Amino acid sequence: MPLQNHLRRLRFERGELTQQQLADRVGVTRQTILSIEKGRYRPSVELALLLARTLGVTVEQLFELEEDQEVTS
């Protein structure tokens, strides 16, 4: 299932953090943050928890699974 993230929006809602500032706070590169935002990289559980804590949200508010909207019987 595709993983949707709200990282970019939450960065801006939390004082317009730059990718570099967020990367420095969680101990990764700016390229890692960029890759997560663009959906090219799925973070580890540890990194997802660090990102959520740093942004003051839950992991579920930061990431969500895009489920098929078709209902099967």
The pLDDT, as a whole number, for residue 27 is: 98
For the chain, 73 residues long, the average pLDDT of each consecutive 10-residue run is: 91 94 98 96 96 97 78 46
* Sign of the dihedral defined by the CA atoms of residues 25, 63, 4, 45, in that order: positive
Burial 42-71 (b: 16+ CB within 10 A, else e): ebeeebbebbbebbebeeeebbeeeeeeee
The pLDDT, as a whole number, for residue 3 is: 86
The pLDDT, as a whole number, for residue 71 is: 43
The pLDDT, as a whole number, for residue 21 is: 97
The pLDDT, as a whole number, for residue 73 is: 45
